[in-house]
Structure 1
Amino acid sequence: MTESSRGGTTPHTPLPTSSESATREGAPEGVVVREGDYGARIAAVEPGGAGFIPLGQRHGRPLDLLWTWTSPNLEFATVFLGVLAVAAFGLTFWQATAAIVAGTLLGSATHAVLSARGPRYGVPEMVLGRVPFGHRGNMLPSAINSVAGGVGWFAVNSVSGSLALNTLTGMPKPLCLAIVVALQAGVAFFGHNLVHAYERYAFPVLAVVFGIASVIILAKADVGAPAPDGAGTGGIGAFLIVVGASFGYAAGWNPYAADYTRYLPSTASPRAAGLWAGLGVFAGCTVLQIVGAASATLGGKALADPTGAFTGHLPSLVANLTLLVIAIGAVGANAINIYSGSMSFVATGIRLPLPVRLQRALVAGAFGAVGLVVAYFGLDDAGHDYEAFLLVIAYWIGPWLGVVLADLVLRRGVWTARDADARVDAMVFDVRRRSWAGPAAMAVAVVVSVWLFSNQEKYVGIVPSHHPSFGDITFAVGFVLAALLYAVLRKVPGFRENG
């Protein structure tokens, strides 16, 4: 939008129409504006879909993003990634710590860059993705993200939360799963404001209990011990696998970034929004992954019974409180996963025969139902399911990030120009716009990087099968390859954008 329409303080007023694509007075022609009155209300269902948030509906502070992004990482999947570094891949505690910090720092930095765009452009992350991917081509990452977040991450975290509740209460696992899923889907159904509120109020509870548990585990841990017997071979290969897994875990939030900053006032500092969002991801991921690595030095059935093995090292009261906050943390993580998964689905442009005002909310409910089924079948093999999912999530995010960040660099004149708002609007909201360089670069990079460099239980690529010391650098290769391909293809006839 123009500086006058986005930078002013007068809210847009609705035109007399109920269409999702209706614009509001003062908004340039063709801009899709999120309809309905929502404001800062918590006990209200967020209306509309993936449109621009009117200035009069903006609220919040950049600082709020600290707990919005710390809370969903204070959960057991974070701990388990640290456990894997030692128990599955054979790293020592200090090697695991170095790999965790390196990978998480990279994923948090990219999260900060993407989060910073929310206040200015007022649309979800996957809508901004239409700039490098085009309107139709953007369906590729949007569809993948809707499934990865709304179903994949949802199922993984639901299992950890339900297993913790089962251990704490003794209730049947399916019942525990149903309770956890109902809470998660309920928060996501109501939408943006309730998600933020949940993370804010859960934060002190999660921080205090996990903080106490972390102190106890770290005090008991044998940080100078060699890797446990029966673990992986360790070495540089294992180190690179853990770097990639830690990056993938932190960067797994990247496709959601602007979803949680687009409601900030347009006058909010982009730098502050990015800083607090990135710091939240880094703090939550790093601390609990390191604690997980420390717990693996204490022995126990870390892979066969992940939750029980971790809490088994704690005094009874602290163990029970930890089980409770594992369930609370799972709800916080999955509220974000379902919400952004449904937002990504809406961003694909697929129209369902549902009321437009409730389409996002109803899609969130549907993801909850599908995720419930997937999680149910993962209850009895949680350790291996965690491992398989956590280690491959970066395979598509690396190439997607390569395209998005390369576009920010190559198109920096557009993003920083005085008329940047209007020029970006034209690329985001023009349904006729095509840019096949983005989806082509991403697709090729995913296939080639996995084929050559994947190093997982289900598939070992050509390079690590002959040279195991390479570990798993799939995410790095995918990122670089996608960025280079995009830079070249965007100038090739047939791939260059038409608008």
Structure 2
Amino acid sequence: MEQQYDVGRGGTPAIARPRITEVEQHGIDTIPAHHRHSRPLDLFRIQFGGANTFATVILGTFPILLGLSLWEALAATLLGVVVGALFLMPMGLFGPLTGTNNAVSSGAHFGVRGRIVGSFLSLLTALAFYSISVWVSGDAVVGALVRLTGIEDSDLLRGIVYAVLGAIVIVVVIYGYAFMLLVNKIVVFGNTILIALGAVAYSGQVDLGYDPGPDAYALGSFWPTFVLSALIVMGNPISFGAFLGDWSRYIPAETSPKRLLGATFSAQLMTLVPFSFGVITATLVSGEADYIVALINASPAWYAALLIVVAFLGGLSTGITSLYGTGLDFSSVFPRLSRVQASLSIGALAFVFILVGRLAFDLIASVNAFIGAIVICTTPWMVIMTIGYVVRRGHYRELDLQVFNQGRTGGAYWFASGVNWRGMAAWIPAAVLGLLFANYPPLIQGPFRNVAGGVDLSLLVAIGVAAVAYLVLIKVFPEPRYVFGPDGPRGVPASDSPMPEVVDDHGASAHRQRHRAPAVGE
């Protein structure tokens, strides 16, 4: 199918805009300039659309479930969103500069083979948020159907709804970026309006003075419970860290960094809409075992019907944004798989995880543990990437980032057999020590969780270790001058050494050639 080409003002080059019914051809290869058809506004839409869902609403209920008052819960939510957004903002800068996703871009700081760390974080996040989105959206649809039609709830019914929702997500992911952008454009407006109608549906029921008292604090006292609540909320913006490059790679390289930073920060602030909905409605059904079923039963019939739409659109949006990037990235980690095949494989794995996790394990405990692992492991990775961006002055070599994906060796980011041990030596201890200090009961409880009276120090430890270790390592063991570009490094020394020549790894290259996806026009 032919692409649409738009010529810019003043005779600027034509931009190819794919049709939404056209299967995306690009994988993690560098996006050519004439295919960069997105804007910072699109980055805003995808982030907000991907978070304006029942999955985010569920995260918003946690501060209340953990025993905070309404106003304490809202304060913890605001803190978690703002702090998470500040760490996330720089992660939208890499895609326009490198033309690829953040996992591949991280090869500049972890090595073209060491970037597997980013791929692992992408997989962890995709499994968690794809599963959460299908779980909670499917449960909301089932609950509303039971309320409105009288159909009997059952594991079979839930499994069917999960399968339908999960299959639609995979179909959209296969079509790719343009279709995903359309879905998120709809969700930005549609779900915002539908959630706002909740103010009408629950008017007169909300108790602004809701406070279960100090005996309700899940961790025994205020500050440990407040910090844990903020960290759980923070997991939502942090979860986008591995994925922002999936979407920003379609934005022109000359786009102002301020506009990219602003798009991310404002999108995350807008997630306070679904978060606040979760906080406030959780007070209405406090003490109930199943938040979704209890909320639907407490809703007027007209709003219970609307919740089906909210849940369905939200499940699509969150599932798509989570699964798309992982399928994209793993098509390069496993060269036998095309982007479409990788998406199908990861989607199938995630669906098995959904069924086992939902039917055999405690949903709240599972979500709590996954969010904790994502925050602790991803934040130090983002810190290292951000420091690297600053000291490199935003200079990246697009072609050299792709050598491993193309079955070659060498280039600016080859370092030691494809691994930059400076980045790895900073990230590994940061993530490990963070987990040792973590307190995400009952599944993640590190041995040092009580050193501050029960206050969770895992994030501070992970961030501090990553930042200090990486800065010390790149000062004591300077990186090669050729990775910094013509203006040289900012604030750190550089070493003088020849750049490894890019050569074919004949075995890997032939393997990739046999199993690569067809190029456009083939």
TM-score range, shorter chain: 0.7 to 0.9
For 1:384-423, list aligned pairs within 5 A: 384-412=365-393, 415=394, 420-422=395-397
Q: Which residue of 1 aligns with 2:223?
A: 236
Structure 2 residue corresponding to 1:50, chosen from 21, 28, 40: 28
Q: Which residue of 2 aligns with 1:67?
A: 45
For structure 1, list consecutive stretches of 5 or more residues without a partner in the other structure. Answer: 1-7, 13-37
Contact 2:436 / 2:449 at 8 angstroms: preserved in 1? no
Structure 1 residue corresponding to 2:335, chosen from 320, 337, 351: 351
Matched, 1:148 2:125: yes
For 2:334, give the aligned amino acid.
I
Matched, 1:163 2:150: no
For 1:320-359, list aligned pairs within 5 A: 320-347=305-332, 349-352=333-336, 354=337, 359=338
Structure 1 position 234, deviation (Å): 4.3
Q: Which residue of 1 aligns with 2:99?
A: 122
Contact 1:218 / 1:294 at 8 angstroms: preserved in 2? no
Structure 1 position 421, deviation (Å): 5.0
Structure 1 position 118, deviation (Å): 2.6
| CA distance 1:438–1:421, change in 2 (3 Å) | closer
Structure 1 residue corresponding to 2:342, chosen from 339, 349, 363: 363
Q: Which residue of 2 aligns with 1:32?
A: none
Comparing 273-282 and 434-443, the one that deviates more: 273-282
Contact 1:45 / 1:361 at 8 angstroms: preserved in 2? no
Q: Which residue of 2 aligns with 1:22?
A: none
Contact 2:379 / 2:462 at 8 angstroms: preserved in 1? yes
Matched, 1:266 2:253: yes
Percentage of pairs with the same residue: 23
| In structure 2, C-alpha distance between the alignment counterparts of 1:77 and 1:91, rounded to whole Å | 20
| In structure 1, C-alpha distance between the alignment counterparts of 2:22 and 2:78, rounded to whole Å | 39
For 2:264, give the aligned amino acid.
A
Structure 1 position 411, deviation (Å): 2.6
| In structure 2, C-alpha distance between the alignment counterparts of 1:446 and 1:253, rounded to whole Å | 18
Q: Which residue of 1 aligns with 2:277?
A: 291
Q: What secondary structure does 1:463 align onto?
A: coil
Deviations 1:11-58 (A, max 9, x none): 79xxxxxxxxxxxxxxxxxxxxxxxxx742211111132011111112
| In structure 2, C-alpha distance between the alignment counterparts of 1:162 and 1:50, rounded to whole Å | 31
Comparing 216-225 and 115-124, the one that deviates more: 216-225
| In structure 2, C-alpha distance between the alignment counterparts of 1:301 and 1:383, rounded to whole Å | 14
| In structure 1, C-alpha distance between the alignment counterparts of 2:178 and 2:168, rounded to whole Å | 15
| CA distance 1:455–1:335, change in 2 (3 Å) | closer
| In structure 2, C-alpha distance between the alignment counterparts of 1:450 and 1:97, rounded to whole Å | 26
**What is the root-mean-square deviation of aligned Cα atoms in Å?**
2.6
Matched, 1:484 2:468: yes
| In structure 2, C-alpha distance between the alignment counterparts of 1:271 and 1:494, rounded to whole Å | 29
Contact 1:96 / 1:293 at 8 angstroms: preserved in 2? yes
Deviations 1:422-462 (A, max 9, x none): 4x654565743121111221111111121134343123223
Contact 1:118 / 1:263 at 8 angstroms: preserved in 2? yes
| CA distance 1:108–1:45, change in 2 (3 Å) | same
| In structure 1, C-alpha distance between the alignment counterparts of 2:277 and 2:13, rounded to whole Å | 48
Q: What secondary structure does 1:343 align onto?
A: helix
Matched, 1:316 2:310: no
| In structure 2, C-alpha distance between the alignment counterparts of 1:218 and 1:82, rounded to whole Å | 19
Matched, 1:247 2:234: yes
Comparing 376-385 and 232-241, the one that deviates more: 376-385
| CA distance 1:439–1:277, change in 2 (3 Å) | same
Contact 1:131 / 1:428 at 8 angstroms: preserved in 2? no
For 1:205-220, list aligned pairs within 5 A: 205-214=190-199, 216-217=201-202, 220=205
Matched, 1:221 2:206: yes
Matched, 1:376 2:361: no
Comparing 287-296 and 427-436, the one that deviates more: 427-436
| In structure 1, C-alpha distance between the alignment counterparts of 2:131 and 2:38, rounded to whole Å | 30
**TM-score, scaled relative to structure 1:** 0.83
Structure 2 residue corresponding to 1:112, chosen from 72, 89, 102: 89
Contact 2:426 / 2:466 at 8 angstroms: preserved in 1? yes
**TM-score, scaled relative to structure 2:** 0.79
For 1:206, give the aligned amino acid.
N
Structure 1 position 146, deviation (Å): 2.1
Comparing 230-239 and 312-321, the one that deviates more: 230-239
Contact 2:140 / 2:311 at 8 angstroms: preserved in 1? yes
Q: Which residue of 2 aligns with 1:31?
A: none
For 1:400, give the aligned amino acid.
W
Contact 1:127 / 1:428 at 8 angstroms: preserved in 2? yes
Question: Which has the greater radius of gyration?
Answer: 2
For 1:417-436, list aligned pairs within 5 A: 420-422=395-397, 425-426=399-400, 429=403, 431-432=409-410, 433-434=414-415, 435-436=420-421
Structure 1 position 378, deviation (Å): 2.6
| In structure 1, C-alpha distance between the alignment counterparts of 2:32 and 2:162, rounded to whole Å | 38
Give the count of matched residue pairs: 449
Deviations 1:387-418 (A, max 9, x none): 33233321111221121122123333xx2xxx
| In structure 1, C-alpha distance between the alignment counterparts of 2:116 and 2:442, rounded to whole Å | 30
| In structure 2, C-alpha distance between the alignment counterparts of 1:74 and 1:292, rounded to whole Å | 11
| CA distance 1:130–1:215, change in 2 (3 Å) | farther
| In structure 2, C-alpha distance between the alignment counterparts of 1:465 and 1:135, rounded to whole Å | 39
Deviations 1:194-227 (A, max 9, x none): 1111111232221111111145447532222213
Q: Which residue of 2 aligns with 1:186?
A: 171
For 2:249, give the aligned amino acid.
R
Deviations 1:236-283 (A, max 9, x none): 111111121121211111111121111123343332233123312221
| CA distance 1:427–1:190, change in 2 (3 Å) | closer
Q: What secondary structure does 2:450 align onto?
A: helix
Structure 2 residue corresponding to 1:281, chosen from 262, 268, 272: 268
Structure 2 residue corresponding to 1:41, chosen from 19, 27, 30: 19
